[in-house]
Structure formats: structure tokens, C-alpha cells
Structure 1
Amino acid sequence: MRLLADLGNTRLKCALADGRKLVATWAGSHAQAGFLDDLQGWLAGEAAMIGETWLASVAREEVTAAVAARLESIGPSPRRARVSAQALGVTVGYERVDELGVDRWLALLAARARGLGPCIVASVGSALTIDALLADGRHLGGLIAPTPDAMREALYARAPALPRARGEIAAFATGTASGIESGCLLASIALIERSAARLADHAGARVARVLSGGGAQPLRPWLDEHRFLPDLVLEGLALWAQATLLPGD
């Protein structure tokens, strides 16, 4: 069985995969005390089932090295996923392929394998990322923006007198706390919806909205019809691992 690890800027998510099927998962924030020990404890319980390890990371190199060392402690050295210009029917649209985060790339591979194109793949993590994928697998490019949480913190930093109480989400808020809460969240919704509309114009077809990431849940009630696929990066990593190990690949 494969151990898959998706290491982001703030969180690590792991899964055991039987082919493409994810059968066990674990997640934690690498900013929290005891993170590596918690990871080690989970790994120790699953070690007997792990045959190989695959790692996708956008984290700082020192964090990546520390996590890789723990992964290696229970089995073979992890194999790192790297972005390639063309893979599994996806053609990257970035002028410099190495600038596209490996997590976004893996999510695109998974979306393509699910037959979701044309689609907008939006992920809410340390940042809000949005990628446009056509039905034929062409990636048109994407956007990077602050998450609602990051918007609020930036606003508080610029205007310390603002109330930090959490408000209610409303189309038109009737108080300052709710105005901040609503403005920051609905700004993200507007960006996703605008991206979907522009892709629909380009593709001349209905566009699917795909939502992923650890911070996605608060957006869901306000986003038009969409697919919520929280394990999309791990799905893509499972696909990439499987394809990489095929004879002749």
C-alpha cells in the first residue's frame, strides 16, 4: 500500500492508498507543538501496511526535510512529485512550469481524471488558488488571492480599532463585525464565480466548480452549485504515483 503525503504551507495531510482508493487519512498543522511526534505516532500504527511513500510539498525546505525524515523512518525514502508540462492528459498553462505549485497541479490531474472539465478548481488553504481547466485537459492558468481569514487579518493590521468579533454572513450586513465577515468571505465567492463565468465564455460550455482545501467549508453555503472534493490533491498524487510506476513510464 502507498503512503501519500500532501505538505502545504500550514498543514500536512496523509493517506494510505490502495491503488486510487484512499483507505486511511491523517492531518495536522506543522505550526503546532508536537506535530512531528503526532505524525510519528500515526505512522507507527500504519507502518506494517506501507510499501512505498510519495510526497508532494510546497512548504519551506526545512519543514519538508523534517517531514521527509519522519516518513523515511518507517520505510523507503519518499519519492517527490514534481510538476511536468504534460501529464495524464493535462497540459500546464504556466509560461514557467516550475512556478505552478505541485498541489495545484495534482488537483488538476485528479479533476481531469474525474472528467470534470471544463472546470474551475478552487482551493482554500494558506491562500485561495483558482485554476481553469478545459475539457481537453488544457490548463489556461489561474489566480492567487488571500483567503477570507487572511483578508480579515490584513484589515485588522491596517485598522486596529476595528472590532475583532466574528459576525454573520449577509448579502448586506447591518453591523461592522458582520460587514467585515461578509465582505471578506463574499469577495472570495465573487472571485470564484467571476472565474467560472470567464471560463464559460471561453469554453462555450457549462463550467463545473470544484472546491477543495482545509478552509473551504465556510464558502460552501454561498457558492453556486459545486463539487466539494477535500482530498483532490491526494487523489492526484495517487494517480501520479500509479502512472509513474507503470512499465515504460
Structure 2
Amino acid sequence: MQRWVLDLGNTRLKIAPLQANGEAGESIALEHRGADMAALAARLPPEMEVAYLASVTDEALRVGLLDVLAARCQRISLARTQRRWGDLRIAYADPARLGVDRFLAMIAARAHAARVEHEPVLVCGVGTALTLDLIDAQGQHLGGRIAPSPTVMRQALNRQVAQLPACGGSYVEFAVDTPDALASGCVGAALGLIQRSLADAGSRLGTAPALYLHGGGGEELRSLLPQARWSPRLVLEGLAQWAAIEKPA
């Protein structure tokens, strides 16, 4: 039996074992949208010593996974956003209103930044939502932004106008067909928000922050943001750090 970290998002469950050094081992991502919980459970380890869970999805799915884990875990620990974590200080007046995935990604990005003399960082997660969080060199969270991801933009347009496809097309600067125009517009909107945030952060801090990019939708933006540090496991890395000092209830 081992200790495991699990990140339950809106479309995927990411899971990794905790290694002896406290870091997250090799991870897998399981699609759960539309999947039967029994089918999802069949792909999980049959026994776990401890499961550390971060969840930002709906209550019914979270409870369903907790029921599955309760049958095979000695202990389950739910990660929660905290006002302070080491020198990281959350800007929200009520930290519980900040998604735990954003909190954990900031923990991991801050740890990466500590290796470069505590440089400021802008953490960008691209999943169902696109989130941005700015942290200065002293660890103060300065706030963030939330917007629809390019995927959700496409889906919303398709629901309103059926002839606009929900997927397909490629990013180009000026498209000459509808699928490319949709891809370019929705991806371009995300890029514009990220680039505006980088510019605003640079003006505010007097130096450009390091951009950390993570999330299932980040791959689509990665090649268009050459300055970004691609960190697809950032939430699991932060959860592993949280687990390292989490105390049993």
C-alpha cells in the first residue's frame, strides 16, 4: 500500500503515488465526464494507505469518489486553501473562496521560484476555466483572474449557434475559414488575457514575472507562449508538498 495524491477536476481525475522523497511519482489522468463511477474506480489502486484529495468539481462527483476511496483507503485527507503556506500569503479576504487547485499550483510555482532567488510568478491554469494568479517575490499573492478557457468558449458558441463547430480548426493570425477563425478567436482571447496580465504584472512589480502554465488545455497554448514554463503537474506537485506536512485530524 502507498500514499497517493489525487486531483479531481471538472473533466479529469489526476492521480500519482507519493514517493519516498515526498514528491509525486508518475501520474495518470482519467477522464470522468460521462463515465460511470464504477468504471473509474476499477482503474484506481485496490488499496491505499492514505489518499490526499484536492477537488474543485461538483459535490455529487466528489462524494462519489470519496465513497470509492473509503472502501480502499486507511485514511482520506481533503486539501483546503489556507491563508498562509510558508511565505505564501493568499490575498482573498476569505481564502476558502479561492479554488484549492489554484492554491496548490501557487505552492508548487512558489517552490520552483525559490530556486531562482524567489522571483515573482504568474501562474496560469487552463482547464474548464482559465485562471491567473500573481505572486510577488516575497510570496504575497496579489490576486488573479478567471475566464472561460478556449474549449469552453467554443462550446458556449456552439450551444448558441449550432453551425459554429465546438472543436476543430487551427490557430492562425487571420483565418480564411470558420473552424480556423473560431480556433484563432478563442485561443487568441486567452492569449490576450495572459499577455495583458503579464504586462500589468510587469508594470506593477517593476520586473516581468515568470509565467507557469499548467492544465489540460495548456498544451494548446504552449507553443504560442514561448516564455512559459510548461508545468502540467503543478497541482499534484503542490498537493504532494501539502501532504508532506499535513497532520491527521
- State the TM-score, normalized to the length of structure 1: 0.90
Shift, 1:118, TM fit: 1.0
Deviates more, 1:60-69 or 1:151-160: 151-160
Alpha-carbon distance in 2 for matches of 1:83, 1:182: 35
With over 3 angstroms needed to count, the CA separation of the structure-2 counterparts of 1:163 and 1:213, relative to structure 1, is closer
Question: Is the partner of 1:76 in helix, strand or coil?
Answer: strand
Verify: 1:74 aligned to 2:80, yes or no: no
Paired residue secondary structure (2:169): coil
Note the C-alpha offset of 1:206: 2.5
Q: Is the 8 A contact 1:132 1:142 kept in 2?
A: yes
| Aligned counterpart for 2:191 among listed residues 189, 192, 195 | 189
| Alpha-carbon distance, 1:245 to partner | 4.0
> Where does residue 113 of structure 1 map in the other structure?
111
Correspondence 1:159 to 2:161: yes
Pick closer, same or farther for the CA change 1:36–1:231 going to 2, 3 Å: farther
State the Cα distance separating 1:164 from its structure 2 match: 5.7
Residue 242 (structure 1) aligned with residue 236 (structure 2): no
Structure 1 runs of 4+ aligned residues shifted over 4 Å read none
Matched, 1:13 2:14: yes
Determine the C-alpha separation between the residues in 2 that align with 1:78 and 1:102. Answer: 16
For 1:210, what is the secondary structure of its paired residue? strand
Residue 83 (structure 1) aligned to one of 81, 84, 96:
81
Q: Is the alpha carbon distance of 1:243 and 1:165 closer, same or farther for their aligned partners in structure 2, counting shifts above 3 Å?
A: closer
2:24 is the counterpart of 1:26: no
Asked if structure 2 preserves the Cα contact closer than 8 Å seen for 1:82 and 1:102, the reply is yes
Aligned position for 2:225: 223
The aligned counterpart of 2:141 is 139
Partner Cα separation in structure 1 for residue 172 and residue 136 of structure 2? 33
User: Is 1:26–1:42's contact at 8 Å kept on the other side of the alignment?
Assistant: no
- How far residue 35 of structure 1 moved from its aligned partner, in angstroms, is 4.6
Query: How many angstroms does 1:139 deviate by?
Result: 0.7
Alignment of 1:94-105 (within 5 A): 94-105=92-103
Per the normalisation by structure 2, the TM-score is 0.90
Give the gaps of 5 or more residues in structure 1: none
State the 1:39 CA deviation. Answer: 3.2
Partner Cα distance (2:233, 2:147) in 1: 21
CA contact (8 A) 1:166 1:177 kept: yes
Residue 57 of structure 1: aligned partner: 55
Indicate conservation of the 8 Å contact 1:54/1:241, yes or no.
Answer: yes
Q: Identify which of 172, 197, 202 aligns with 1:200.
A: 202
Asked whether the 8 Å contact 1:68–1:77 carries over to 2, the reply is: no
Displacement of 1:93 = 0.9
CA shift digits 1:133-167 (9 cap, x unpaired): 11111111111111111111222233334356722
Gaps (5+ residues) in structure 2? none
Q: Deviations over 1:114-146 (max 9, x none)?
A: 116411111111111111111111111111111
